[in-house]
Amino acid sequence: MQPHRKLNKSKRTKKKEAYLMGFKLIINNQGQFISEFKNFPMDKIPLYFKKENAGVIQAMLRECKTNFTELHTDLERIARDVFHS
């Protein structure tokens, strides 16, 4: 009989960086432009970040979301003007 294998349990390590927000502008093979943005969930910020940093991170993400939404709207307008002129 073979002995039971022990599973390697990974230790939790503190990460030095966090992906908080990103913006992508994509063109597919049909020539369609797609913009997308992803952000760290606001409700998870207090769980993963120090209390003294959480407020600043939330404020920065709110500002980025506003700016990315405006950028998305501007890009839609540009694409509409170019392709429908």
In 27-65, which positions are buried (b, 16+ CB within 10 angstroms) versus exposed (e)?
eeeeeeeebebeebeeeebeeebeeeeeeebeeebeebe
Q: Please choose, from the candidates 70, 37, 44, 38, the residue with its C-alpha nearest in 3D space to the C-alpha of residue 58.
A: 44
Can you give the pLDDT at residue 39?
92
Judged by DSSP in three states, 51 sits in helix
Residues of the chain with pLDDT under 70: 1-12, 85
Q: What is the pTM of this model?
A: 0.70
Can you give the pLDDT at residue 46?
94
Structure token digits, residue 68: 């990315």
